[in-house]
Amino acid sequence: MTMPAPIIARRSPGPQGEKIITLAALAVGGQGGSVLTNWITDLAEANGYHAQSTSVAGVAQRTGATVYYVEMCKDTGRIPVFALSPSEGDVDIMIAAELMEAGRAVMRGFVTPGRTTLIASTHRIAAVSEKVVPGDGRADAAQVIAAMGLAADQVVAFDMEAMAARAGSVISASLFGALAGSGALPFPRESYEAVIRKAGKGVEASLRAFGLAYDCVRGDVPLPAAEAAKPRIRTLNVPTSLQAGWRALEARLDRLPPETQGIAGLGLKKVVDYQDIAYGGQYLDMVERAARLDAAPFAMTQAAAKYAANALCYDDILRVADLKTRASRHGRVRDEMRVGDGQVLQLTEYFHPRFEELTTTLPARLGAWLQRSDRARRLYARHLDKGRRIRTDSLPGFGMLWAVAALRPWRRSLLRHRIEMAHVTAWFDRAMEIAKADRALAAEILANRRLIKGYSDTHARGLSRFDRVMSALPMLRGRPDAADWMRRLRVAALADEQGKALDGALKTVESFAG
Q: Would you write out the chain's pLDDT as a tens digit for each of its 514 residues?
A: 333 333 333 333 344 446 889 999 988 766 778 889 999 999 999 999 999 999 887 654 444 678 899 999 988 888 888 888 888 888 999 998 888 888 888 988 899 898 999 999 988 766 555 555 555 556 567 788 888 888 888 888 888 888 888 888 888 999 999 999 999 999 999 999 999 999 877 889 999 999 999 999 888 766 665 554 444 555 677 888 889 999 999 999 999 999 999 999 999 999 999 999 999 999 999 999 999 999 999 999 999 999 999 999 999 999 989 999 988 888 888 777 777 777 788 888 888 888 888 899 999 999 999 999 999 999 988 888 888 888 988 899 899 999 999 999 999 999 999 999 999 999 999 999 999 999 999 999 999 999 998 877 888 889 999 999 999 999 999 999 999 999 999 999 988 778 888 989 999 988 887 6
Q: 1 in a domain, yes or no?
A: no
Structural contact between residues 53 and 38, judged by C-beta atoms closer than 8 angstroms: yes
Q: What is the dihedral of CA 91, 92, 98, 99, to 10 degrees?
A: 90
Q: Which amino acid is at 513?
A: A
Which of 157, 170, 172 has its CA nearest to residue 119? Answer: 157
Give the end of a domain, one of 183, 218, 253. Answer: 218
Structural contact between residues 430 and 445, judged by C-beta atoms closer than 8 angstroms: yes
Beta carbons within 10 angstroms of residue 157's beta carbon: 20
Which of 51, 56, 45, 64 has its CA nearest to residue 23? Answer: 51
Q: 395 in a domain, yes or no?
A: no
Q: Half-sphere exposure (CA, 13 Å, Cβ side) for 361?
A: 20
CA 313/CA 305 separation, integer angstroms: 13
Confidence at residue 61, expressed as pLDDT on a 0 to 100 scale: 41
The number of distinct structural domains making up the chain is 2
Q: 84 in a domain, yes or no?
A: yes
Q: Which amino acid is at 332?
A: R
Confidence at residue 357, expressed as pLDDT on a 0 to 100 scale: 85
Q: 437 in a domain, yes or no?
A: yes
Confidence at residue 438, expressed as pLDDT on a 0 to 100 scale: 95
Confidence at residue 12, expressed as pLDDT on a 0 to 100 scale: 35
Q: 332 in a domain, yes or no?
A: no
Confidence at residue 417, expressed as pLDDT on a 0 to 100 scale: 96
Check which CATH number belongs to the domain holding 101 and give it: 3.40.920.10
Give the end of a domain, one of 153, 186, 218. Answer: 218
Which of 438, 435, 494 has its CA nearest to residue 468? Answer: 494
The residue range of the domain holding 22 is: 7-218
Q: 238 in a domain, yes or no?
A: no
CA 263/CA 261 separation, integer angstroms: 6
Q: 139 in a domain, yes or no?
A: yes
Confidence at residue 60, expressed as pLDDT on a 0 to 100 scale: 45
Q: 46 in a domain, yes or no?
A: yes
Give the end of a domain, one of 178, 201, 218. Answer: 218
